[in-house]
Amino acid sequence: MARLVALVLAVIAGVVAIFALWANGQLLDTGSWTAVSGAMLENKEVRHRVATFLGEELVGETEAQLRAAGQEEVAERVVPALRAEQTRLAERVMKTARFKAIWEQANRSGHKALLRVLDEEGTAGENGAVVVDLTPALRQIADELEEEGFAEDFGISGLSSLVEPGAARIKVLEAQELSQAQDAVRVVRDLTLPAVLATLGLYALVLVLGWWELPRTFVAIGVALIVTGALALLLRTLAGNQVVDRLLSAQADREAAQAAWGIATTTIQHLAIGCIVAGGLAFLGGLFFSWRRRALA
């Protein structure tokens, strides 16, 4: 009975450890997050959604600046043509190495700022919110369009100069969510090592309790590891669905968000699959030694 309780606790601790390792090693590490953001840009659904956002912002800025300068006729001629091509042109520019470098730098800077706020080492930006500033990426699209002659085709000169500072910002964290996020980060920071040690300690306890029938103990440990990995994968899927359902409603946005969630949680997937593989080996090893013992007997 004690061994069964230890195994159940080991499964729970193992799942907690997997998610804590993911959050601490991938979600809260700037280098890892920058790599994740680069991988997201390679995904078709995510790239298309970002291109749509940047294209809309570019068209909006262009129209606003032209009208503010008293060039309504130019705006009425240029904006509809630019809007019809906005996403395609943005996607074309987003595939260039220069844009990818700017994209990664924007995400690196935004993530560092977010961590400073979450670790209470800095202050939030506008209205207490944390944002990722993609204005340099927006200017890069405008520059590329000018260099390739697309801006002239639309009858615009100095397209990048029409992009105002802070034109393309994405809110990562609202002011009212900041306190909860800081509490969550403190928990993750403090929970990772204890969760890993508890998992290892519980499996060591299972081995001690089942030392007199080691093959069966290895079979039980194998089953527990497989359950841990499968449960982590299930919770990853359920959590992703909850996040997407809560934040988004449009199907196009949902597809991009689900793809982004899958990329951002690859550590959970890798750790879970590792648990399943290790559990399978332990299970098969226990069965083999049990069969060998019976054969020798």
pLDDT tens sequence across 63-111 = 777 777 677 776 777 778 778 878 887 888 888 888 888 888 888 888 8
Helix (H) or strand (E) holding 169: strand 169-173
In this prediction the pTM is 0.80
Is the same domain home to 185 and 146? no
34 falls within a domain = no
> Are the CB atoms for 75 and 65 separated by under 8 Å?
no
Pair 43, 151 in one domain: yes
Amino acid code (one letter) for 30: T
Higher pLDDT, 156 or 229: 229
**CA-wise closest residue to 69 among 137, 142, 146, 156:** 156
| 163, 141 contact by CB (below 8 A) | no
Buried/exposed 156-168: b ≥16 CB within 10 Å, e otherwise: beebbebbeeebb
Of all residues in the chain, the percent with pLDDT exceeding 70 is 80
- Separation of first and last alpha carbons in the chain: 28
Domain that holds residue 45: 39-175
Q: How far apart are CA 93 and CA 157, in angstroms?
A: 18
Residues 146, 61 share a domain: yes
Q: Which domain-ending residue is among 118, 144, 175?
A: 175
Summarize pLDDT for 190-205 with one digit per residue, the tens. 889 999 999 999 999 9
Residue where a domain terminates, one of 128, 146, 175: 175
The answer to whether 235 and 271 have CB atoms below 8 angstroms apart is: no
Q: Are residues 78 and 147 in the same domain?
A: yes
